Amino acid sequence: MSLPLLNYPLKSQNNRVQGFEVGGDENPFIYSTEELRSPGELDTLIFAAYRQVFHEQQMLKRNRQTYLESQLRNGQITVQQFIRGLVLSYPFRANNYDANSNYRFVQICVQRLLGRDIHNEREAQAWSVVLATKGLEGFVDALLGADEYEENFGADIVPYQRRRVLPQRAAGEISFEHMPRYTEEYRVKLEDLGYFQGLGSAYGPYKVPKALSLFGAAVTYSGAVALLGMVGAIALAAFGFISL
């Protein structure tokens, strides 16, 4: 018997407040298969889906899912099913699920599939339980099958960040697609593995990995010995002891 989704309070946050501002660059552009006028617009919709799911830093040619694209172009799957395939693909799993804690992965998926940030830690815990008990596929199906997804995007609309404009502020929130995919915890792991060393004072004093330091010392010693041998040979040749 599977556990039901735990209850969590809803906070009055940006995307739950009706907006009255004039449209601009910070307002989302809606991509839907119901409004396609040419094949080129479908290419734009597919690109928007990749950008929404994969984050700008993961928009790589090798991450393309050509089979899913072909199915969408032929009308075999909906946009919702295309989004599901992207989230369950190996590149997305390797770059986001494997690289993060369950809480951070839940936040990423809520942002990119439901178009909003998590309400609070209680919601992150609730969806983490779903992820732990139903697995990645069950978790993604639960998000895409939620009433919130159906009401805002349905089967034909690419998910988007529903509201970025903040009241009484000149600029809106940073878009989810520009946020880093990993947390401070993952960064600490990278630092323990030797990443970010020698990048300047902002990351601490310069540190050279021990293996690289030993290799450099060996190269320096070998070069010094070879140079000393060449100088000695030239000196002996100058006095006629040897010929070069």
pLDDT of residue 32: 92
Considering the chain, what percentage of its residues have pLDDT values greater than 70? 70
The C-alpha atoms of residue 91 and residue 85 are separated, in whole angstroms, by 11
- Identify the weakest region by mean pLDDT among 69-83, 122-136, 214-228: 214-228
Residue position matching structure tokens 């597919």: 46
pLDDT at residue number 56: 66
Please state, in angstroms and rounded to a whole number, the distance separating the CA atoms of residues 5 and 126: 6
CB 110 within 8 A of CB 118: yes
Domain boundaries, the chain: 14-192, 208-238
Q: Which pair of tokens denotes residue 224?
A: 């010094």
Asked if pLDDT for residue 65 goes beyond 50, the answer is yes
Whether pTM > 0.85 for this model: the answer is no
Residue 140 pLDDT class (50, 70, 90 cuts)? very high
Which band of pLDDT confidence, cut at 50, 70 and 90, is reported for residue 2? low
CB 68 within 8 A of CB 86: yes
Let me know if 106 is exposed, middle or buried by CB neighbors in 10 A (0-12, 13-18, 19+): buried
Mean pLDDT over 220-241 rounds to 78
- Top pLDDT among 51 and 233 is at 51
Confidence of residue 13 (pLDDT cuts 50, 70, 90): low
What are the pLDDT digits (tens) for 106-134? 999 999 999 988 888 899 999 999 999 99
**Is 70 or 205 the better-scoring residue by pLDDT?**
70
What is the CATH architecture of 14-192?
A: Orthogonal Bundle (1.10)
Specify the pLDDT at position 134. 93
pLDDT in tens, 157-194: 999 988 765 554 555 555 555 555 555 666 666 677 77
pLDDT at 166: 53
Return d(Cα 115, Cα 144) in angstroms, integer.
12
